[in-house]
Amino acid sequence: HWGAGLRHNEAGNDSLVGHKDMDHLGMPREGRISIMNPLSAEQDALRTALAPGLMYDLRNNLAQGAQGLRLFELANIFEADAASETTARETGMLGVLLYGARYDTAWPQAEGDMDYADLKGVVENLLHYLHLGAPDCRSVEGHPFLLPCVELVLEGRTAGVMGRVKPALAEHYHARKDVWLAELNLEVLRELHDAVQ
């Protein structure tokens, strides 16, 4: 099981998100798929990334008093694709979100909040578990909601991104500390994994 070695809580979010949530994160409008008769404005589009759902989970957990959070989600994203039979392209993704205290309050001697090194460690552990090498980490500019943002390249292929959610955007979800987020393309990872077997 993918998440078994991660010691994270699994998030199970609906495929539906709000256009306004994606707008808030600066995600491109191009390629989005709108829902014809949405039940609510909060769920009027299919997600093109896992970030909106994970940030929503963060907000809910913070409202319940969480001091530290490790979330992961395995789910599909959806993009308009005229060439596809259904005019929609689905891509399996793995999202990881880290926030706040590195350890539970039961471990007062272990101080500190999670940071980039924690996120990189989680991602590298996962790649190691899949028998894939360490990724080539390339800094990228201009990501809609991550700054700094690092692209993960394996065998010349982009396998995902990781970085810090821009604090001004994270505040909207009541985050008072840095939010570290990674999104990995499971289809690329699966192909690379099959190639090393």
Q: Got the DSSP string for 72-132?
A: EEEEEEEEE-TTSTTSEEEEEEEEEEEEEBSS-TT-TTS--B--HHHHHHHHHHHHHHTT-
For residue 125, pLDDT over 80 is answered with yes
Q: What is the mean pLDDT of residues 148-156?
A: 96
Task: Identify the pLDDT of residue 12.
Answer: 63
Percent of the chain with pLDDT over 90: 59
For residue 103, pLDDT over 60 is answered with yes
Q: What is the pTM of this model?
A: 0.86
